[in-house]
Chain A
Amino acid sequence: MKRVMGAALCALLAGGIAHANAETKLTIATVNNGDMIRMQKLTDDFTSKNPDISLEWVTLEENTLRQRVTTDIATKGGQYDVMTIGTYEVPIWAEKGWLAPLDNLGSDYDVDDLMPAIRSAVSNDGQLYAAPFYGESSMMMYRTDLFEAAGIEINGRLTWDQTLEIAKKLHKPDEGVYGICLRGKAGWGENMALISTMGNAYGARWFDEEWKPTFDGEAWKNALDMYTNILGNYGPPGATSNGFNENLSLFNSGKCGMWIDATVAASFVTNPKESKVADKVGFTEAPCAVTCTGANWLWAWNLGIPMGSQKVEAAQKFISWATSKDYLELVASKEGWANVPPGTRMSLYENPKYLEAAPFADETLLAIDSADPINSTLEPKPYVGVQFAAIPEFQGIGTTVGQQFSAALAGQMSVEQALSAAQSSTDRTMRKAGYY
């Protein structure tokens, strides 16, 4: 009897060891937003289909995540098997050889269903280096009731001049309503995301074909004049502290006549649990000026695998699951069609169930389709990106310029002074970096 029990124990132990050896643990670094948290909750679906793979989630705030994964990938730390990265990082990291190419996502992955603009943003020389989990552009959200009361109708795409006139009409601070809410908080991903698209619309670009900054041109002056005028005079007080979340709170409390920001905001402002004006919101494209090229940004959160990872096969299986069409169906079956991650697959925007659940779907698709990271300025440019230039120096440059433009908005310096400071600081950085 003892022998039988001993043998059984050995078999159990051996089985346990074999099982432990067979299981691959994937550590996934991800950003904290609704779509990513939803994915974590649906982990069981993946692990039931792949019992030999377990998932360990590391959720971090965006800036912390960026610092953490950049340190890890640059030093080949090997702490993460799958990283959530933005469209800014993908081309730079792919170029440096830091990302493993995604060449084994499975036969039923349907890579051609990815939206062309997003696919292009996460590819390098035609090879996919990250798979988009959700994508966004920018558009205008406005209060239909206030527009109606003021007798304003939108016919075709607005210009910034027209937007200014509308903001003047809607601006009633005594009644707690501000004409327009825009990002004012300094940062390359904050105010500069919006101001870059305004610059594009006014015919400006970050760098000319020789990588020289162009803040000394007329186009940037026109764009910054408009930005400081419209937000400074017809925006909420203290706009220099407002980023996405602050404006979202203002809009949801009914304090903004218009708000130009990420398309992903549409699902928040139309959610009655979060918004007091959920049934009074209309959507239209971001305004143009001398051109509509690059007038709305393009951003996506993507899943990539660091080069040198020992678990590429398992990681690709996970990425394939998380960014597949089946995953969208899975989210819809558990949480409803309005909650599926938007902006990555064309088939989603042909799905009548989604179109019915998401009244903002058409405008989101229009915005993403019209954003092209390669051709996003009136004049030719040497960089990739609509609201950023995908070069390693851009984070620093963008944040410095953002601080100068924020100071202009606060009235601490004139538009001319801010542009001049932006020109000299950017010129210095680009020279030091050896671009010319």
Chain B
Amino acid sequence: MENKQTPLGYVSFSVFAWIVGLLIFFPIFWMVLTSFKTELEAVSIPPSFISFDWTLENYVEVQERSNYFKFAMNSVILAVGSTLVGLVFAVTCAWAMAFNPTKRTKDALLWMLSTKMMPPVGVLVPIYLLFRDWGLLDTRFGLIMVLFLMNLPIMVWMLYTYFKEIPTDILEAARMDGATLPKEIIFVLLPMAVPGIASTMLLNIILAWNEAFWTLNLTTSDAAPLTAFIASYSSPEGLFWAKLSAASTLAVAPILVIGWFSQKQLVRGLTFGAVK
């Protein structure tokens, strides 16, 4: 049945979508706006909207106090590193589950996901002790391992869903033509699952970028990413909103830009199947 939309329906749907979009974007907009205010203006009631003395002093102070690029570089390394390592394991795992399922595959998938339901603080002390004994505290390698393991269930689930939509016949045809297992995965499966892999990677990068519990608890200075950078600008005594907003704007800017440019792939990967 053809879906006919009336002009009124189209307009009201667009207006509704814009309202929802603006509502979601408003906190980010307000954060950017606050970063250009003085501390006094940032907390003034009623809040000033556009008509205030715009200042860059918060950005100057943040630059003076912290080495932004060191934190940003750590964030990039941790997010990309944990995603790449995760991908190697998740692709092979999802392949096995999607194309060679056993009667326990569904249970295994559910069990993997259930590990995400435990509050991270529950395993803080054991993980901290392991890190201490293995000399991994405040190292990028240690944190990449934690972030990769933390996001692995989601990566496996997403890839499993995409792989399930790829017809097994195509893989069988490749095998008939003499493709070995690695060749089958690399040259046949992966090219067909590119949208799914891209959206899995993007989502994982965003999750790793925003992760604040482990990155704060397992780092001090050498491996500290942007979450630690932001955490250093919150204060229980004294005005800090403007400086915190400037630090937060700097911290989210890279991921915001990446998300902006890759939104088409992200939305496509999240809403469509692998071969549609």
Contacts and interface: CB of A to CB of B under 8 A. Distances in A.
Interface of A: 27, 29, 31-34, 37, 40, 56-64, 67-68, 71, 74-80, 189, 243-245, 248-250, 252-253, 255, 262, 264-265, 268, 273-276
Contacts of B237: 33, 244-245, 262, 264-265
Contacts of B238: 33-34, 245, 248, 268
B10 to A, nearest CB: 41
Given A75-B129, A268-B238, A252 B40 contact: yes
Contacts of A79: 137-138, 220
A259 to B, nearest CB: 14
The 10 A-B pairs of least Cβ separation, nearest first, read A61-B234, A59-B232, A249-B43, A32-B235, A62-B236, A79-B220, A56-B221, A77-B132, A58-B220, A61-B231
B124 A71 contact: yes
B220 A40 contact: no
B48 interface: no
Contacts of A67: 217
Contacts of B129: 75
B24 interface: no
A63 B231 CA distance: 10
B233 interface: yes
A58 to B, nearest CB: 5
Interface string B31-51: 000000011100111000000
B109 interface: no
A274 B40 contact: yes
24 contacts: A29-B220, A33-B235, A57-B221, A58-B221, A59-B65, A59-B232, A60-B228, A61-B231, A61-B234, A62-B235, A63-B236, A67-B217, A68-B217, A75-B125, A75-B129, A79-B138, A79-B220, A189-B236, A248-B238, A249-B43, A249-B44, A252-B43, A253-B43, A262-B237
Contacts of B125: 71, 74-75
Given A32-B240, A58-B221, 16 more contacts: A31-B235, A56-B220, A61-B235, A68-B217, A75-B132, A78-B132, A79-B138, A80-B220, A245-B238, A245-B239, A245-B240, A249-B43, A253-B43, A262-B237, A274-B40, A276-B40
A78 B128 CA distance: 11
B252 interface: no
Q: Which range contains the number of B residues in contact with the other chain? A: 20 to 34
A71 B217 contact: yes
A265 B44 CA distance: 17
B1 to A, nearest CB: 51
A275 B220 CA distance: 35
Interface in B220-276: 220-221, 224, 228, 231-240
B39 to A, nearest CB: 6
A123 B132 CA distance: 30
Nearest to A64: B231
Contacts of A60: 216, 228, 231-232
Given A40-B65, A77-B128, A274 B239 contact: yes
Nearest to A74: B125
A59 B138 CA distance: 15
Residue in A31, A58, A275 with the greatest tally of chain B CB atoms within 10 Å: A58
A283 B205 CA distance: 52
A69 to B, nearest CB: 10
A59 B220 CA distance: 9
Contacts of B228: 58, 60
A79 B216 CA distance: 13
A76 B137 CA distance: 12
Given A56-B221, A245-B239, A273-B40, A32 B124 contact: no
A279 to B, nearest CB: 15
